[in-house]
Amino acid sequence: MFLINRNFCLLLFGQIVSQLGDKAYNIALMWWLLEKTKSPFLVSSFLVIAMLPELIFGPVAGVYIDRWNKKKILVVSDFVRGIIVLTLAILFQSELLEIWHIYVAALCISLCSALFNPTTMSVIPVIVEKDKLQQANALSQMVVGAVSIIGPLLGSSSIVLVGYIGVLIFNGISYIISGIAELFLCMTTIESQTEESVIYSLTQGFRFIRADMRVLVIVTVIAIVHVFVGSIVVIMPFLAKLLDGNGINNLGLLQSAIGGGMIIGAGYISKYVRKSVSELYLSYAIVCMGLGILALGTLQLIHIELVEIYVIVCIIIGSCIAIASVLWRTIAQLCVPAEMSGRVFSVFSTTGNISLPISIGIFGLLLNYMTPGLLFFVAGSCLMVFGVVLLYSNRKNFESIVKVR
């Protein structure tokens, strides 16, 4: 028996393979750049360049997602990314790989991702029945959690066992395998023959978001939650150093705990919250997420240094992140019409992609003036307040639960 159905199983299989390859690839390339250049600036600039196309062209990509055949977008994006990475492998093996090759590859892969990622979200409602949407999003989120645990371990161990060439080949082939799996998707998507200009189509997408209160709330949630959850990315390494034991081991434990929590949260919502989807539950998840981050700060401020306690809190935070992610995706998929899905989900992706680096920059700066414990306390308090305000300022909307039939 396939997970939910055959189509979703194929999509999920491709997601697992390609995301594992991505994790190993990113770790290998950053390490290679650091070894070759000895420059943290070049490593960080690589990360920035890898994000730029998605940030700049994300909303425009949504216009073309709504116009083109979505299955073709998935397949071609994966094949192109696979060819790019395998080309890097050939250059590396021939000792011709240069830093500018890495930068050009990062730009091209990011352009493909700007098309691929929103398309994946917009395809799920096409291949999954409405009453299975939440379960499908939960399974996808479980994959993200599992990859966040396995991926870094796979990346670091692969460099040791098979070297950079092995990691590049693995990631390139993972994209190709994902594309082959997507070739077997049985789905009907209509290619739009509209003569509207790109600017007009893009404007229509923004107007739809502004006019639909539920979709507008989701955009706001994505932006604000990413800002405060981004504090975890920045502060966690500094927190890990302050705890008992080895700092790098502590960091691995805490990051794995968040990934494990995401698996638990996605599994919980898949099994126990199937009959209805409501922003009410989304606001509760945000409040609990804020409480978890607040707890990290409080534990540090009262000088608790036992890493096991922090691991438990990180599991709770990861669970809340997964629950919130599954809920907003499902609500959006139920609210957004198919002909608008590419533009709307591209705006979602772009919003998250913009918020996270802003968060990293802000909290990275604040770490020069505040302790990790105090920063976690402030970030958690702000996120918790946002969740409470979201709940009570939109109470009437939250009472309108979408019954999934």
- Report yes or no on 1 lying in a domain: no
- Report yes or no on 82 lying in a domain: yes
Nearest to 231 by CA among 299, 289, 309: 289
Q: Under DSSP, is residue 276 helix (H, G, I), strand (E, B) or coil?
A: strand
Reply yes or no on whether the pLDDT at 253 is more than 90: no
- Contact call for residues 2 and 9 (beta carbons, < 8 A): yes
Domain match, 277 and 181 both? no
Question: What does the mean pLDDT of the chain come to?
Answer: 82
CATH number of the domain within which 258 lies: 1.20.1250.20
Q: How far apart are CA 274 and CA 49, in angstroms?
A: 40
Domain match, 28 and 128 both? yes
Domain match, 36 and 132 both? yes
Helix then strand then coil, in percent of the chain rounded to 5, is: 85, 0, 15
DSSP characters over 171-226 = HHHHHHHHHHHHHT-----PPP-----HHHHHHHHHHHHHH-HHHHHHHHHHHHHH
- Report yes or no on 398 lying in a domain: no
pLDDT in tens, 301-360: 998 988 899 999 999 999 999 999 888 888 888 888 878 888 888 888 888 878 877 887
Domain match, 41 and 81 both? yes
pLDDT for the residue 276: 57
pLDDT in tens, 267-278: 888 776 655 556
Reply yes or no on whether the pLDDT at 296 is more than 90: yes
Domain residues for the domain of 269 are: 201-391
Regarding predicted confidence, which is higher, 29 or 258? 258
Q: How far apart are CA 247 and CA 159, in angstroms?
A: 22
pLDDT in tens, 201-250: 888 888 888 888 888 888 888 889 988 888 887 788 788 888 888 776 78
pLDDT for the residue 382: 93
pTM for the predicted model, two decimal places: 0.81
Q: Is the dihedral of CA 114, 353, 82, 263 positive or negative?
A: negative
- Report yes or no on 194 lying in a domain: no
Domain match, 241 and 332 both? yes
Domain match, 263 and 138 both? no
Reply yes or no on whether the pLDDT at 380 is more than 90: yes
> Domain tally for the chain?
2
